[in-house]
Amino acid sequence: MSPPPHPRVAAVARALAAAGAEGEVRTLPAEVRTAAAAADALGVPVGAIVNSLVFLADGAPLLVLTSGAHRVDVLQVAALLGVGSLVPAPPDIVREETGQPIGGVAPVGHPAPLGTLVDVELARYDRLWAAAGHPAAVFPTSYDELLRITAGTAAEVGGGLLDGTATTVGGDPVPDASPPDPAGAVAP
C-alpha cells in the first residue's frame, strides 16, 4: 500500500480531475527543482517542461507558464499587459498565492484563480509535463489542455532560449541563475 499523496499534490489532483484533465499525477523518485532535472528524470526535452512562474504585475499576482527552455522577457510581458512593473514574486508571495512551494508550483490547485499567460513556445510539444504541487510530483498535459484548465491566455512571453540549467520547474529563478540580459529578459 502506498502512502497517501502530499496534501498539495492531492489538491492539484482534485483540481485536474474537476477540470477534466486527462493525465494523472506521477510521483518521481526524487525532487526535481529545475527544468533540466525534470526533463532528465522524465526522459523528455527541457522545452516540454512547464515552468509555473509567479510575477507581480503592478503588484498583482500573475502566473506565467513558460517552456523550460525559454526565458520570460519581463519588458515584453509588461508591455503586453500594459503594466508599468513586472517582477518575480518573492517566495512568500508565491506560497501565499498558490499554496505551493517554489519548485513545485502547479498551473492549477491554487487557493484562488490567478490570471495566467501560457507561453506559445509550449505548443511545439505534443506532451508537456508540469509540477503538481510538490517538487517530486508532475503531471502530463498538452498545450490546448493547459490553456483550458487554467483559463489562460496564449502569449509570446519571451524571446531567448536557455540551456536548461538555470530554470526551475514550477517556481522562481534558482539563486545565481542567469542574469537579465540588456533587453530585460529574466531566466525563469
Does any domain span residue 1? no
| DSSP letters spanning 95-134 | HHHHSS-TT---SS--SS---EEEEGGGGG-SSEEEE-SS
- Give me the mean pLDDT over the 83-102 stretch: 95
Q: Which helix (H) or strand (E) holds 63?
A: strand 60-67
Q: Phi first, then psi: what are they for 40, rounded to 5°?
A: -65, -45
Does any domain span residue 47? yes
Does any domain span residue 70? yes
Does any domain span residue 11? yes
**Three cell numbers, residue 54:** 509567479
Does any domain span residue 2? no
Other beta carbons within 10 angstroms of residue 123's beta carbon come to 16
d(CA 22, CA 146): 11
Instruction: Return the pLDDT at 121.
Output: 95
Q: Which of 38-42, 91-95, 181-185 has the lowest mean pLDDT?
A: 181-185
Parent domain of 182 = 7-186
User: For the chain, what is the domain count?
Assistant: 1
The CATH number of whichever domain residue 46 belongs to comes to 3.90.960.10
Does any domain span residue 177? yes
- Give me the mean pLDDT over the 40-67 stretch: 97
Q: Name the band, by pLDDT with cuts 50, 70 and 90, for residue 164.
A: very low
